[in-house]
Structure 1
């Protein structure tokens, strides 16, 4: 690289001293070994010696500083004052020193002091990308030290993949060694200035007598500081520090959380985060509660070369255990309570990964009482913690998954002995091209399941119940339906069988598509399914011979084989009507021939209890949801599809069809020990009709509805319909509306109609302010209330003790759950307030509600705080012995 490019020089006398002025018709580009070295080559004028040329000076300077970092100077003029040992770059001066860049209207260098003076629109960019602007800067020659007037700093960071900026400002600041900047009477914010009124204060900012930004420590220290919201001081701290915005993990205290509960008292928890190493850290959270003592929580996280894991421990020695109900309705007899949670995942190779997600508790109420939350824990409707370990492998056309499950019931009336332990359940799926001359696709599927349970789980069919239990806890009465204590056909079903249940299922299938010259699509297929069972029931849990005869201890092994052949036919008729779109009508017929299912009702059913017959399952080869059941008999599935697609994005899709049992035993007509198949719409020779209608005027709006109609009367049996809409850019609203209605299925335990509607919406009042909400309404609750009244009245008439039950009012609307919130969000701030109301343990007939208010505030780069307050009164499900509000 040349030392001098396109330079025109003149030398003139200048009064008491001698000034060398360099003027170019364009910006002069000068590469200097170092600016100080250049100036040292220009001594005082000597009449006896010839004045050295500018080129001589440049080369001499470069030679003296060989190996040092070079400086590139660009300016309209370079002015040399030999008398005062100064050089000036005038007019759009731009200096580059290593990774640092200095821009200004005028830059002067005093070689006597080694100081650089920049004036007018000064802008300094350092090696981190931070931009420092000011009216005037006084710096050392390497830009690392100095003073800055009217300082403004803009630092660009990329948290979680998004670009963001933070800003410092001060009337005067000092820069030391390029690592520490001290702002006198400084301000700090992560908010963008207002575009229309930049003089207004940002949404939030920190003002301090001194702000010290240490790049080496990557910390920001604040002295005599106050937090301002909209220019109004709201908090004062004499001293604190935060991590540099570029730091994602820093040792220190996190935002505290507060406790307010009738059983815990008042308290505060202050997490301390310890960044031990780049790959692991520890968070310790002591929570001090006035009534129960100290709850200790510890979370260890570590990331390894091929994965990660974490471990969270919680525990407390309670000071007042008596505020909780005694066993079996509460943990009142426990002094120590705690939990252990862990998650891990490791990538063993590009195709294989393994991991776990486990939760263990001393009692089922601990996590709820102390508000400890985990993604593996569900708290609405069904309260349980699911622990699992897994091994997963994935190839181009194959899938392997092995898992083990442990279910911990967290509801008050759960009996843990009825919860299964599944270890393991293994699935394998492989697809290959069919061999010649078959062609097509060959698929191999395998499922292995090993399950144990200590006690059989019965469910009484509701239509047969003749009485209602109303136990009282804390003076609160609640409905509890009785369950079967022995198996009795027609009165109860078995949801889970005690003992050992081991099954191995394999299936090999083949299919191939043929398209003839008329456009007809023919798909022949065949499959062979085999199942082997080993069942060792715990006969002590049955207390009668009805179920033990189904699973004779003398015949532990059993099996079944299900071969099948079939043909699916489609004939799409396509018409292009120009502006009216492309219309497609496709009649579909599918016939499957196979023998009857064997051992119906004489084998366990753990994974095939959820049977939903609709448009999505009409053309499935086997309509059962799991492997414990297999569909048999000769069956025809008939239907038709109609679709419209236009050039402007309008789309319609409709389908209608039914399934017909032609020969053999109808698998859905004979229920198993869980009555699966009955009341499904498939139990008759001609099934119910199923339909689908989807209308999408554009990509932002979609309406879809699914329905099932009775085969004889065309009465509505099942309906699901939903509307999903995004109205932007015309209206800043996202909304959805869902409605569902299911007819009674008394043989499955649903003796009345179920009906409900769910609505949710988010409306952006402004680009920053929003309001959101959701509502779930139970439209069939009055049916259950009326039935409970009838049952209670019958029980009173049989045994008239006490007062007769009061007839319920005919309110058909019951708000099951609610979520209402509003908030503000921008590039630097998020604040939201939400109210949640949801039912607790609806599955067992309880109607208590969980009502919570959540306030969340996040000031980006400073921290985040959450305040959660439970508004519910004490329920009968949390094990608490008091009734005061929490």
Structure 2
């Protein structure tokens, strides 16, 4: 009995700094030893466990075939291959080892370490010190699968000495070399990276490489700065062979109730322009305030018209700056804001684009139990200021009512009426010589819909003829028109009482909007939807010349039509068109998308006649194709192609190839674009990401397994 107590307590005391054991002591919790056979030498104070040995201490698990523990020295000897799993997910294996009783110091030969189930390191020997450092010699590190039939990983880092600081969660490499497919590509005197348990840490990110006709060969080297738990920044120097040097920066700050993001760039050396310090800056933010108010803003400015496009920051041709304070409830909406647009178009002058300050809008819906229908009112005001000193201020409002009825025969009747008016104050304007203007427009409309349905098999067919009669006075007001210079005619506003989107102009006269909707729906098959219609007017008030809208001019408008066909999980086809009574098409936009096995395909066709391209003399006639082919879980091919059918020349061609596995992602692309004056620009891009190196996480679809 006395001998058994000694053996049991020695087993439970494994990994502890034990002294001479009293037989009456109780073993600490969380300690256990399991083995096929256990023997104890009281004279040598040694415990030997053999056969399927499993030792548990403080969420650490050691498995091996043989353990020798010297209680007097606190030394643990593992003469056979072993595996030690820590509570942080670190796995250490080796051919043999000598450790202290808490596995905090010692030496392991033939060591292999797996951190966070993804970062592997193999070393000739391994030692621990001070309870926080893993020190390895002659190390090979990678996050790639290393299998029996593929012992050369996709990438690896070889280093003479590696120190893993468990407390700081960083891995330090001395004299490392990076190898791709076994070929050395980079040598460094020192490299430090966070271990994979870190979600974000300061340091260099993976660089990207590009080549373009404008800048030649270009490398971007981002440096990430983790300021604290809710702030970070990224600084990216960009150097090109054309002797350009651009520094880009990004700053992100999260608050309890919102966030701010700021980014920008400055060209310190620029061969493409004589302008000094070309730059851009963008700041965006949104916040949830008290009483359900929301604040949003964006500052977006560029030093000139071409900087963003030449350096591939973005291809926007207008930069919209704004600040808004909004509140939305079940029956109301409030907005207060200001805005300014910087145009990057060569044919637009910034001096002609006004500063909008301020702009106020309020909408309220009202329901009265004693009265039928829904009532509502709108109040709005805006002030437009230009750099030449001119100013236009508008104050206006609208009262409206809407109701609908459904009769026993299925007929639907909708009625609405509204009265809107505006008053303007103008100063220092040559375009509007008067100081004071007003307009006042009442509108009344009645709409009849008669949906008819029939079920054939599993399919439901619905045909719905619609007629909408709208009246507004013919009178035109000689007041400023700042927000309604154009109006688009489409199936979406076929049955609209006003096709101008702003407040300054309103559609006038007596008109009849006529059309029909058709829908075929089958929950187990394909779906088809068709809309066609046109507008009839009592008089042509010349509100919609070619410079304002296409298809709406004259007493009788063109036909507007839309067609949608969809096979669930197979393909979809949609088309929108404008065509006259003789069938001549002035506008057509057709889009097709399909998914077939591993192929995703999107195609589009656009035809815009001269009158449709407002303020332009050229037609737009092009076809575009976007394809993605996922050959397998590793290879992805994508292509984009845009062809100008009018000029019979391709305007854009892009081809990309991506390879991705459990430890790396390589993306290569080549792009050719035809710009103005027949200039052809070429761009090549290459980006290599090493998954798991520096806080990157391996993806679930690439499980850590062999034999793929």
**Matching of residue 853 in structure 1 with residue 688 in structure 2:** no
CA distance in 1, matches of 2:591, 2:613: 28
Question: Counterpart of 1:101?
Answer: 61
How far did 1:727 drift?
1.0
DSSP 3-state at the match of 2:499: coil
How far did 1:289 drift?
8.2
> Given that residues 88 and 108 in structure 1 are in contact (C-alpha distance below 8 angstroms), is that contact kept between their aligned partners in structure 2?
yes
Deviations 1:331-363 (A, max 9, x none): 64x555544443333332483332432234444
**Matching of residue 722 in structure 1 with residue 595 in structure 2:** no
CA distance in 2, matches of 1:259, 1:736: 27
Question: Counterpart of 1:499?
Answer: 390
Deviations 1:723-747 (A, max 9, x none): 101112xxx1111111121233189
Q: Give the 3 Å change call, closer, same or farther, for CA 178–416 of structure 1 in structure 2.
A: same
CA distance in 2, matches of 1:622, 1:228: 66
RMSD over aligned CA atoms reads 3.9
DSSP 3-state at the match of 2:543: coil
Question: Counterpart of 2:383?
Answer: 450
Question: Counterpart of 1:670?
Answer: 543
CA distance in 2, matches of 1:761, 1:350: 47
CA distance in 2, matches of 1:631, 1:568: 20
CA distance in 2, matches of 1:340, 1:853: 26
Question: Counterpart of 2:570?
Answer: 700
DSSP 3-state at the match of 1:435: coil
CA distance in 2, matches of 1:719, 1:853: 34
Q: Kindly indicate which of the two structures has a greater share of residues assigned to strand.
A: 2
2:420 alignment partner, one of 512, 530, 551: 530
1:219 alignment partner, one of 155, 170, 175: 170
**Matching of residue 111 in structure 1 with residue 74 in structure 2:** no
2:25 alignment partner, one of 55, 60, 63: 60
CA distance in 2, matches of 1:440, 1:141: 83
Deviations 1:205-244 (A, max 9, x none): 1122222211222211112322121222222223222222
Question: Counterpart of 1:378?
Answer: 315
**Matching of residue 553 in structure 1 with residue 494 in structure 2:** no
DSSP 3-state at the match of 1:827: coil
1:186 alignment partner, one of 139, 146, 155: 139
1:169 alignment partner, one of 97, 122, 143: 122
Deviations 1:28-60 (A, max 9, x none): xx99975467975657xxxxxxxxxxxxx4x61
Q: Give the 3 Å change call, closer, same or farther, for CA 303–36 of structure 1 in structure 2.
A: closer
The gaps in structure 1 that reach 5 residues or longer are: 1-9, 13-17, 23-29, 44-56, 157-163, 325-330, 456-497, 541-547, 782-812, 865-886
The gaps in structure 2 that reach 5 residues or longer are: 696-708
| TM-score, structure 2 normalization | 0.85
Deviations 1:760-780 (A, max 9, x none): 101123321222111111222
CA distance in 2, matches of 1:735, 1:261: 27
2:535 alignment partner, one of 656, 659, 664: 659
Q: Give the 3 Å change call, closer, same or farther, for CA 739–337 of structure 1 in structure 2.
A: closer
CA distance in 2, matches of 1:435, 1:586: 34
DSSP 3-state at the match of 1:417: helix
> Given that residues 823 and 833 in structure 1 are in contact (C-alpha distance below 8 angstroms), is that contact kept between their aligned partners in structure 2?
yes
DSSP 3-state at the match of 2:460: strand
**Matching of residue 828 in structure 1 with residue 660 in structure 2:** no
> Given that residues 757 and 777 in structure 1 are in contact (C-alpha distance below 8 angstroms), is that contact kept between their aligned partners in structure 2?
yes
DSSP 3-state at the match of 2:87: coil
Aligned length, in residue pairs: 695
Name the larger-Rg structure: 1
Q: Give the 3 Å change call, closer, same or farther, for CA 719–341 of structure 1 in structure 2.
A: closer
CA distance in 2, matches of 1:716, 1:295: 48
CA distance in 1, matches of 2:377, 2:674: 44
Q: Give the 3 Å change call, closer, same or farther, for CA 253–279 of structure 1 in structure 2.
A: same
> Given that residues 16 and 101 in structure 2 are in contact (C-alpha distance below 8 angstroms), is that contact kept between their aligned partners in structure 1?
no
**Matching of residue 817 in structure 1 with residue 688 in structure 2:** no
Q: Give the 3 Å change call, closer, same or farther, for CA 104–653 of structure 1 in structure 2.
A: farther
> Given that residues 32 and 70 in structure 1 are in contact (C-alpha distance below 8 angstroms), is that contact kept between their aligned partners in structure 2?
no
CA distance in 2, matches of 1:697, 1:372: 38
1:130 alignment partner, one of 90, 113, 122: 90
Alignment of 1:763-778 (within 5 A): 763-778=629-644
> Given that residues 104 and 119 in structure 1 are in contact (C-alpha distance below 8 angstroms), is that contact kept between their aligned partners in structure 2?
no
Q: Give the 3 Å change call, closer, same or farther, for CA 171–450 of structure 1 in structure 2.
A: same
Deviations 1:839-872 (A, max 9, x none): 54x6xxx5434432222221124479xxxxxxxx
CA distance in 1, matches of 2:577, 2:241: 56
Deviations 1:472-526 (A, max 9, x none): xxxxxxxxxxxxxxxxxxxxxxxxxx933333454454445544444x1524232
Q: Give the 3 Å change call, closer, same or farther, for CA 646–764 of structure 1 in structure 2.
A: same
Alignment of 1:110-509 (within 5 A): 110-118=70-78, 122-156=82-116, 165-193=118-146, 199-254=150-205, 272-283=223-234, 299-312=250-263, 314-315=265-266, 332=274, 334-335=275-276, 337-349=278-290, 351-367=292-308, 371=311, 373=313, 378-379=315-316, 383-396=317-330, 398-412=332-346, 414-431=348-365, 434-438=367-371, 442=375, 444-454=377-387, 499-509=390-400
CA distance in 2, matches of 1:849, 1:228: 37
DSSP 3-state at the match of 1:61: coil
> Given that residues 359 and 385 in structure 1 are in contact (C-alpha distance below 8 angstroms), is that contact kept between their aligned partners in structure 2?
yes
DSSP 3-state at the match of 2:118: strand
> Given that residues 167 and 189 in structure 1 are in contact (C-alpha distance below 8 angstroms), is that contact kept between their aligned partners in structure 2?
yes
CA distance in 2, matches of 1:639, 1:574: 20
